[in-house]
Amino acid sequence: MDFSTQTSAPEKIKTAALVVGVFADGALSPAADAIDRASQGAVRAAVKTDFKGKAGETLVLRSLPGIAAQRVVLAGLGPQDAFSPKVLASAYRASLSAAAGLGVAEAVSALAAVPMQGADMRARARLAAIAAADVTYRFDATLGKRDASSRPKLGRVALAVERSDTKEAEAGLREGGAIGNGMSLARDLGNLPANVCTPTYLGETAKKLGRTHKLKVEVLDRKQIEALKMGSFLSVARGSDEPPKFIVMRYEGAKQKPASRAKAAGAKTAGQGPIVLVGKGITFDAGGISLKPASGMDEMKYDMCGAASVFGTLRAVAELGLPLDVIGVVPACENLPSGRANKPGDVITTMSGQTVEILNTDAEGRLILCDALTYVQRFKPAAVIDIATLTGACVTALGHVNTGLFTPDDALADALLGVSRQVLDPVWRMPLDDDYQEQLKSNFADMANIGGPPAGAVTAACFLSRFAKGYRWAHLDIAGTAWRSGKDKGATGRPVPLLTQYLLSLS
């Protein structure tokens, strides 16, 4: 997708589709008003008879007199007193979907210029680029016969803005474009079936990303993982014939002001440590011996969406050339039942030396993440964020709207909550009180891998916290937000926007 800005008067813009906004009370945005005056009242006439201005509503007007654009797409903005970034994003998606449906190759949107409280031009432009990537995304990698005509032709989007706003708009488009590209990569990886997207495939994808985006990449094999004494990770991998991979991707962009970065990351003292992202990479999760129900098990190919979000974020950061160091770490394996698989009651030894009694083999994500969290201590990080489709309990608690955020660090929590609102990738902070740790007690090991039904998402985070003592840490449970089911089934690309915007805020 190519993005640009346009500063001509709305009625003079030559384009296949020009998007202008209309509020629910009939009030016209400045661009819509200019089009109406130049077309002798064509917009107001349409509003009176065919268009209510509801949020997400669209109407296409063709060949208006006095208008250079071939088509004018009216986009509903809802009530003026409720106009918000969320409504704007909805209007972007609806209007760009309408433009894509027209089969046009390029469009100009004047929605970013609509005045709004709570979002500057840069933020409004960023949302436009993310929306454009979203509505034009198609997954067809596994179709036997790809139909090129089913892919949207829309490949160029411009924002109509005032000349004084072009610099900020272009910056926002660049950021949003990179986030959109990162989301598309994460969605592609999530949507691939598990017989294609294996741990080995993820390793090869990391190497390819390293070549195209100048990342330093290491992919450790079983022998190297054994040498690191990652007994917990290896215990999960043992049940599958697919070899495990431990993937480390390094983006090295730090140039200046390391103290400011460390402070923003929530560190107690200034330092030059990297931000480390750890993504759960279970490329298929059958539950192991504690086998999952057959219904919906096909969706367990999405159990590596935490890893996918790390790949997508590293791509976005590299495209933007952010002046900070970011390391992505992905432990990747399958969780299957076999004669070699973990059994309930087994006791395993983690890389940290702590032992774990496995009461449920389907609580495997925390078993691979705990060794990764121990491993990343060597980087002396300013902050570590792990991302995982970890618990059904988080879906029960928060549904499919908010990602669960767990951290003992108020500064880090506030930073993530703030940027989540900026890019409409919401998170909700969950408790992490020490009292919940009691549920992980075991008579036979240092801890159990589950704490029973009560507060399942919280006790999973408590388990991980025992391996993240040496640095600032946050855990994102994306079990409810990483993919959609039903007719819209597919990976969402979340939380790539949240993670990228957090890293942008540090740079």
Which residues, 6 or more positions from 303, have their beta carbon under 8 angstroms from its beta carbon? 280, 282, 283, 284, 285, 335, 365, 389
Q: Residue 347: exposed, middle, or buried by beta-carbon count in 10 A (0-12, 13-18, 19+)? A: middle
Residue 95, classed as helix, strand or coil, is helix
Domains and CATH numbers, the chain: 2-136 (3.40.220.10), 178-506 (3.40.630.10)
Indicate if the pLDDT at residue 259 is higher than 90.
no
pLDDT of residue 260: 43
Check whether 263 has a pLDDT greater than 60. Answer: no
| DSSP per-residue codes, 432-472 | --GGGGGGG--SSSSEES---STTHHHHHHHHHHTT-TTS-
The pLDDT mean for the chain works out to: 95
The residues with which 277 forms a beta bridge, in sequence order, are: 328, 385
**Would you say residue 494 has pLDDT above 60?**
yes
Mean pLDDT, residues 239-243: 98
Q: For residue 305, which of 483, 486, 488, 501 has the smallest C-alpha distance?
A: 483
Q: What is the mean pLDDT of residues 333-359?
A: 98
Instruction: Identify the pLDDT of residue 466.
Output: 98
- By the 8 A CB rule, do 493 and 187 touch? yes
Per-residue pLDDT of 207-236, as tens digits, reads 999 999 999 999 999 999 999 999 999 999
Report whether 16 contacts 62 (CB < 8 A).
Answer: no
Q: How far apart are CA 202 and CA 247, in angstroms?
A: 8
Parallel/antiparallel/unpaired status of strands 325-335 and 18-22: unpaired
Q: How confident is the model at residue 481 (pLDDT cuts 50, 70, 90)?
A: very high
- 110 vs 13: CA distance, rounded Å: 11
DSSP character string of 298-347: GGGGGGGHHHHHHHHHHHHHHHHT-SSEEEEEEEEEEE--STTS--TT-E
Q: Residue 292: pLDDT band by 50, 70, 90 thresholds?
A: very high
Token pair for residue 377? Answer: 């201590």
Q: Which residues contact 127 (CB under 8 A, 6 or more apart)?
A: 85, 88, 89, 92, 119, 172, 176, 423, 424
Q: How far apart are CA 402 and CA 407, in angstroms?
A: 15
Query: Which two tokens mark 483?
Result: 């993919």
Nearest to 308 by CA among 177, 90, 493, 458: 493
Amino acid 261: pLDDT: 44
The gap from C-alpha 186 to its chain's centroid, in whole angstroms, comes to: 8
Q: Which tokens in the block code for residue 429?
A: 């902070």
Question: Which tokens in the block code for residue 403?
Answer: 């990602």
**3-state class of 284 per DSSP?**
strand
Instruction: Look at residue 507 in the predicted model and tell me its pLDDT.
Output: 87
Please check the confidence at residue 497 and state whether its pLDDT lies above 90.
Answer: yes
How high is the pLDDT of residue 268?
37
Give the active site residues: 292, 366
**String of b and e for 471-482 (b: at least 16 CB within 10 Å)?**
bbbbbbbbbbbb
Instruction: Inform me whether the pLDDT recorded for 271 exceeds 80.
Output: no
- Length of the chain, please? 507
Instruction: For residue range 10-62, list pLDDT tens digits in order.
Output: 999 999 999 999 999 899 999 999 999 999 999 999 999 989 999 999 999 99
Q: What is the pLDDT of residue 265?
A: 52
Q: What pTM did the predictor assign? A: 0.95
Which secondary-structure segment (H or E) carries 248? strand 245-252
As a whole number of angstroms, the distance between CA 337 and CA 165 comes to 58
Q: What is the pLDDT of residue 150?
A: 74
- Per-residue model confidence (pLDDT) at position 98: 97
Residues ≥6 apart with Cβ < 8 Å to 274: 250, 254, 324, 325, 326, 327, 379, 381, 382
Return the H-helix or E-strand segment holding 411.
helix 410-422
Identify whether the C-beta of residue 271 lies closer than 8 Å to the C-beta of residue 243.
Answer: no
pLDDT for residue 148: 67
Closest CA to 78 of 131, 118, 12, 22: 22
Measuring CA to CA, which residue among 66, 3, 57 is closest to residue 35?
66
Predicted pLDDT at 269: 33
Run of H or E residues at 74? strand 71-76
- CA-to-CA distance for 142 and 302, rounded, in angstroms? 16
Spatial separation of the C-alpha atoms in residues 10 and 114, rounded to whole Å:
13
Q: What is the mean pLDDT of residues 122-137?
A: 97
- CA–CA gap between residue 444 and residue 431 (Å, rounded): 27
pLDDT for res 448: 98
Q: What is the pLDDT, as a whole number, of residue 255? A: 67
Q: What pLDDT does residue 267 have?
A: 40
- The mean pLDDT value for 426-434 works out to 98
| Lowest model confidence (mean pLDDT) among 7-11, 257-261, 409-413 | 257-261
Residue 282 pLDDT greater than 70, yes or no = yes
Position 359 scores a pLDDT of 98
Q: Is the dihedral of CA 14, 17, 20, 22 positive or negative?
A: positive
